[in-house]
Amino acid sequence: MVRTSSLEGNQSATLVFRPLLVLLFLLLSVAVIAAPASVQAQTSSSSSPVVATVKVGPEPTNLAYDSGKGEVFVSDQQTTNISVISDASNAVVATIVMPGAHVPGEMAYDPSKGEVFVNTYDANLVVVYSDTNDSAVAQVQVGSAPTGIAYDPARGEVFVANAQSNSISVISDKNDSVVATIPVATEPTELAYDSAKGEIFVADVSNSSVSVISDASDKVVATVHVGQSPDHIVCVPSAGDCYVLTLAPVDDPGQEGISIVSDSSDSVVGSIVTGTDPDGIALDSSRMLLLVSASTRFQEDAISVGNTNLAGKISVGGDPAEVVYDSAKGEAFVANYLDATVSVVNDAAIALTGATTTTSTHASSTPSSSATTSSSGSSTALSWSYLVAVAANAAIVLALFGRSALKAHRRTGEAPR
């Protein structure tokens, strides 16, 4: 995931944004001191769409859904491992160790081969795993700093965005080799396949644009200006649109959100305001919802396809990154970077009211009054609550700084430190 147009831009944004976070957390600590001497206990609502929270390795970031096995692959970037979650049990059933201790990046599932393609942006490789035994069956050399990846089922090909090479590598799943290299605009990072047009949409971060590639010719057929720092993309063939996360949509440059690109005209036809730092997007094909991770707000936003208004909010874990949809179970899986967890969201329970509809599994939601227990003026309880708040705030600040550093390293293709 890439949230800034350059390493320098990332550092600049950090200088402005992170001190504000520090101030916010300090104010929260003061609020705890000034609060009445009572302890509020967080409880989960029985109607919460979050049906499970799965513990995985540190710093889970990228996800891929394996429809053949009913599994979700999770890249644990601090351990350089991949956790495999069964959607039947919502438990980790396998851990894959990356060869050479390479850092697992973004992933794509190939259902025709039963294989998962994993980018390793620190080694300029794509590692291919069989989902039969979770073992590596091939390693494919691609361009510099591979980031985004997408599978084209019509051609049996995998498209890989090489951020530092300004190119797209095309891998045939028949022989696991590169069959084409396509030059694109500056810093391609994320990809999405549009089955309606047989095209690949590529986010070019530094060019504030999306390159549209025909899979028939392996050539760029259009370039669309979408706004600042385009990131993850999802295409909805039935709507004829692709949705592009951006820090400033071209139709509404003062807001962070989504630019809507028509695949028939290759032009921006609208925008959606999501709020701060949208970090991942997936299509819920059952309810035709766009599920958008809001990393600094610890929640998932739900947006109805064809509507530019926010339809619902789901509180998840700390700093949600990527999200994938499991069509067989009707569930969304959300990687929570700070918590080392994956939230499992039942899409049937998402209430589309336009307001926060669930009780959080994270401490950021407002607790119910029925969940309040008195401390009878206990100064000990107040002291402990203050210390816990300060420690939590400090941990979040440090983790967010680490998250910013990771994103900067992803920009340059280096492994995080």
What is the residue-wise DSSP string for 96-140?
EEPGGGPPP--EEEETTTTEEEEEETTTTEEEEEETTTTEEEEEE
**pLDDT score, position 312:** 81
Paired tokens of 26? 């300090």
Residue 356 DSSP label:
B
159 is a domain residue: no
405 is a domain residue: yes
322 is a domain residue: no
Task: Kindly give the confidence (pLDDT) of every residue in the chain, 417 residues in length, as a single tens digit, with 9 standing for 90 and above.
Answer: 433 334 334 434 433 444 444 444 444 444 433 333 222 222 234 578 999 999 999 999 999 999 999 999 999 988 899 999 999 999 999 999 999 889 999 999 999 999 999 999 889 999 999 999 999 999 999 999 999 999 999 999 999 999 999 999 999 999 999 999 999 998 999 999 999 999 999 999 999 999 999 999 999 999 999 999 999 999 999 999 999 999 888 776 677 889 999 999 999 999 988 877 788 999 999 999 999 998 776 788 888 887 767 778 889 999 999 999 999 999 999 999 999 999 999 999 988 765 332 222 333 332 233 333 233 333 334 344 444 444 554 454 444 445 444 444 433 333 333
Q: Are 110 and 158 in contact (CB under 8 A)?
A: yes
238 is a domain residue: no
20 is a domain residue: yes
What is the CB neighbour count within 10 angstroms for residue 341?
23
Q: Are 263 and 243 in contact (CB under 8 A)?
A: no
88 is a domain residue: no
**pLDDT score, position 304:** 84
What is the CB neighbour count within 10 angstroms for residue 254?
7
228 is a domain residue: no
396 lies in which domain range?
7-41+379-412
Burial of 181 (0-12, 13-18, 19+ CB in 10 A): middle
**pLDDT score, position 353:** 67
**pLDDT score, position 258:** 93
Give, in order, the Cα–Cα distances in Å from 279 to each of 157, 257, 275. Answer: 26, 10, 11
**pLDDT score, position 214:** 98
Amino acid identity of residue 414, one-letter, is E
Separation of CA 330 from chain center: 18
Residue 310 DSSP label:
E
Tens of pLDDT, residue by residue over 196-209, are: 999 999 999 999 99
Amino acid identity of residue 220, one-letter, is V
Sheet holding 241-246, edge to edge: 233-236, 241-246, 257-262, 267-273
Cα(79)–Cα(353) distance, rounded to whole angstroms? 39
**pLDDT score, position 138:** 97
**pLDDT score, position 302:** 84
pTM of the predicted protein model: 0.77
Cα(379)–Cα(373) distance, rounded to whole angstroms? 15
CA triple 233-267-158, angle to 5 deg: 35
Helix (H) / strand (E) element for 13: namely helix 7-34
Q: Are 324 and 291 in contact (CB under 8 A)?
A: no
**pLDDT score, position 355:** 38
Domain count for the chain: 1
φ, ψ for residue 72 (rounded to 5)? -120, 125
71 is a domain residue: no
